[in-house]
């Protein structure tokens, strides 16, 4: 019986499996486009004569816009459904990618790299899509396959694009390599629109009563939610400062001040939206069945900060780390060794989801975060005296725990509140990028070893936070359009 069920999981004729495949491939392409610069950095440094600071600025710019984009995309997904939103995102990504490929100055390169951070919001869309199609007992592994194969896009880019650039040849080879990924994404947007559907036949697509912010279920949670929004704005403010005359001098003092004012205005606007969404239904009192704890969302946010945040930061710097630590490596070899970290996603993320399905949500998360903390403490010891294969194996082991941890986080996300899965995924996803900005900012001040130690220490701290998570229940209550409450059995 069990064996038969496993075969069913693999049958493409099964509409939920088909949905999983077309959706992970959409995510895979967004990741390949989002990280198509990392393995080609060597060529760009040459083409634009970049300084080290300019290179580091480009890496941070790449993950910045994803913070607000994931929040916005989360709101749009819950409102309009994954099919339309993914199609739109793929089309826009294609255009941005082609603009990036045709940049003629460092300023243009930096601007389009910043705008391409929008591509990184694609992840959130599929989390809701997969959550709609898969039952509770297999949702962890399904989300893991979606996330793992999708994240593998950055490794696929690292493995193929340097060679592709050399095949195209000439000083513009890297441009053609980047543009190729953009064209493929544009074409796939039409495929996705044709094949994907928001829900299985006969299912309701639950939408939030109001959009503009997460609905919480107590006053205390409302204040907690508002406080949890602050780090996202702080990360963007730090970023603006990195680009100011005090940092890489990409922006003028006036521009940075304008960005800071804009961030304050945006924060106040978002706070008022959240207040508006929640004020009315909190005054009336929330039925017991409809309640959930915002604490759960906050714990997932912190866990994603150290798992995905560290992955993004490390994937951005690993090829350079290998190049500078071990003498005699070529850019192509360093790119391949660096891609090992993202390569683990294929196995690790689904395994993390599977652990979560089998061991329980809380236990799996704690175990994996403890493991990644140890992994980074080991990486902090790597220097030129190490045997290269040992350094690569340590990297792979560490990345297994990092990505399995991501799988465990997103095994819980669809179980908190069905109709707000997009927004919960958006917020946790945005926190991953806050982590990336934080860690890459730390990296611009310290050496590689200290950088790894900082990540390891922050992971230990989050391990204690994860201890406070409640095990999600086997049922989610959802309010139907006519106002009645339906219990969805997810157990």
DSSP string across 167-187: HH-STTHHHHHHHHHHHHHHH
Query: According to the model, what pLDDT value does residue 3 have?
Result: 45
What gap in Å lies between CA 406 and CA 352, rounded to an integer?
Answer: 7
The pTM of this model reads 0.83
Backbone angles phi, psi at 485, to 5 degrees: -100, 130
By the 10 Å C-beta count (0-12 exposed, 13-18 middle, 19+ buried), 199 is classed as: middle
What share of the chain has pLDDT > 70, as a percent? 93
Neighbours of 220 (CB within 10 A): 12
Higher pLDDT, 354 or 158: 354
pLDDT in tens, 87-108: 999 999 999 999 999 999 888 9
State residue 204's pLDDT score: 79
Q: Is the pLDDT of residue 297 over 80?
A: yes
Domain membership of residue 6 (yes or no) is no
Within a domain: 62: yes
* CATH number of the domain bearing residue 24: 1.20.1250.20
What percent of the chain clears pLDDT 90, i.e. is strictly above it?
Answer: 32
373 within some domain? yes
Q: Give how many domains the chain has, as a whole number.
A: 1
Residues in CB range of 218: below 8 A, 6 or more apart: 282, 286, 291, 294
Average pLDDT over residues 158-162: 85
Residue scoring higher pLDDT (480 or 125): 125
DSSP string covering 216-254? -SSHHHHHHHHHHHHHHHHHHHHHHHHTSTTTT--S-HH
Convert the pLDDT of each residue in 301-318 to its tens digit.
999 999 999 988 888 788
Contact indicator for 376, 455 with CB cutoff of 8 Å: yes
List, for residues 392-439, the tens digit of each pLDDT value.
Answer: 899 889 999 999 999 999 888 888 887 788 888 889 988 998 998 899
The string of pLDDT tens digits covering residues 75-84 is 899 889 999 9
Residue 5 in any domain: the answer is no
- Listed in sequence order, the residues at least 6 apart from 161 whose beta carbon sits closer than 8 Å to its beta carbon are 36, 39, 40, 174, 177, 178, 181
Work out the average pLDDT over 309-338: 82
> Looking at the domain assignment, is residue 2 inside a domain?
no
Q: Helix 361-379 crosses helix 294-325 at what angle (to 10 degrees)?
A: 20
Residue 479 has pLDDT above 60, yes or no: no
- Which tens digits make up the pLDDT trace of 3-12? 444 444 455 5
Residue 140 has pLDDT above 70, yes or no: yes
| Whether the predicted pLDDT of 477 surpasses 70 | no
pLDDT in tens, 437-454: 899 888 888 888 999 999
Domain range enclosing 239: 11-489
Measured distance CA(232)–CA(154) in Å, rounded:
24
For residue 367, what pLDDT is reported?
94
Q: Pick the range with the lowest mean pLDDT from 62-76, 123-137, 326-340.
A: 326-340
**334 located within any domain:** yes
Q: How do residues 205-220 score in pLDDT, each as one tens digit? A: 777 777 677 888 888 8
Q: What is the spatial distance between Cα 441 and Cα 242, in angstroms, rounded to a whole number?
A: 8
* pLDDT for position 7: 41
Is residue 21, in this structure, part of any structural domain at all? yes
């Amino acid at each position: 019986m069990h064996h038969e069920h496993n075969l069913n999981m693999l049958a493409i004729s099964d509409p939920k499996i088909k949905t999983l495949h077309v959706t992970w491939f959409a995510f895979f392409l967004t990741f390949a486009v989002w990280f198509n610069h990392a393995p080609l950095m060597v060529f760009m440094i040459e083409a634009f004569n970049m300084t080290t600071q300019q290179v580091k600025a480009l890496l941070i710019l790449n993950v910045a816009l994803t913070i607000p984009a994931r929040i916005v995309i989360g709101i749009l997904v819950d409102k309009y459904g994954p099919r339309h939103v993914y199609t739109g995102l793929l089309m826009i990504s294609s255009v941005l990618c082609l603009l990036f490929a045709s940049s003629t100055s460092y300023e243009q390169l930096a601007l389009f790299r910043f705008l391409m951070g929008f591509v990184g919001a694609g992840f959130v869309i599929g989390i809701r899509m997969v959550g709609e199609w898969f039952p509770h007992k297999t949702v962890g592994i399904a989300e893991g396959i979606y996330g793992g194969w999708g994240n593998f896009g950055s490794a696929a880019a690292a493995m193929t694009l340097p060679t592709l650039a050399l095949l195209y040849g000439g000083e513009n080879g890297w441009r053609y390599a980047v543009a190729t990924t953009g064209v493929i994404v544009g074409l796939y947007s039409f495929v996705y629109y044709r094949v994907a559907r928001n829900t299985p036949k006969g299912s309701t697509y639950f939408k939030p009563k109001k959009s503009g912010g997460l609905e919480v279920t107590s006053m205390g949670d409302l204040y907690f939610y508002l406080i949890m929004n602050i780090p996202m704005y702080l990360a963007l403010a730090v970023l603006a400062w990195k680009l100011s005359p005090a940092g890489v001098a990409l922006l003028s003092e006036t521009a940075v001040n304008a960005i800071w004012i804009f961030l304050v205005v945006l924060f106040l606007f978002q706070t008022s939206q959240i207040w508006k969404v929640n004020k009315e239904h909190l005054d009336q009192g929330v039925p017991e069945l409809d309640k959930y704890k915002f604490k759960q969302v906050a714990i997932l946010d912190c866990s994603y900060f150290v798992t995905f945040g560290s992955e993004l930061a490390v994937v951005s710097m690993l090829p350079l780390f290998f190049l500078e630590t071990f003498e005699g490596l070529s850019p192509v070899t360093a790119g391949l060794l660096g891609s090992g970290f993202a390569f683990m996603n294929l196995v690790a993320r689904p395994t993390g989801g599977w652990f979560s399905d089998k061991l329980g949500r809380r236990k799996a998360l704690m175990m994996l975060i403890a493991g990644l903390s140890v992994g980074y403490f080991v990486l902090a010891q790597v220097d030129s005296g190490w045997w290269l294969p040992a350094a690569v194996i340590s990297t792979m082991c560490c990345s297994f725990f990092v990505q399995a941890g991501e799988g465990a986080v997103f095994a819980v996300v669809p179980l908190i509140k069905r109709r707000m899965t997009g927004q919960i995924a958006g917020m946790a996803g945005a926190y991953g990028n806050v982590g990336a900005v934080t860690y890459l900012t730390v990296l611009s001040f310290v050496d590689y070893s200290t950088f790894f130690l900082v990540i390891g220490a922050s992971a230990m701290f989050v391990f204690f936070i994860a201890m406070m998570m409640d095990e999600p229940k086997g049922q989610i209550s959802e309010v139907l359009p006519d106002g009645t409450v339906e219990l969805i059995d997810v157990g």
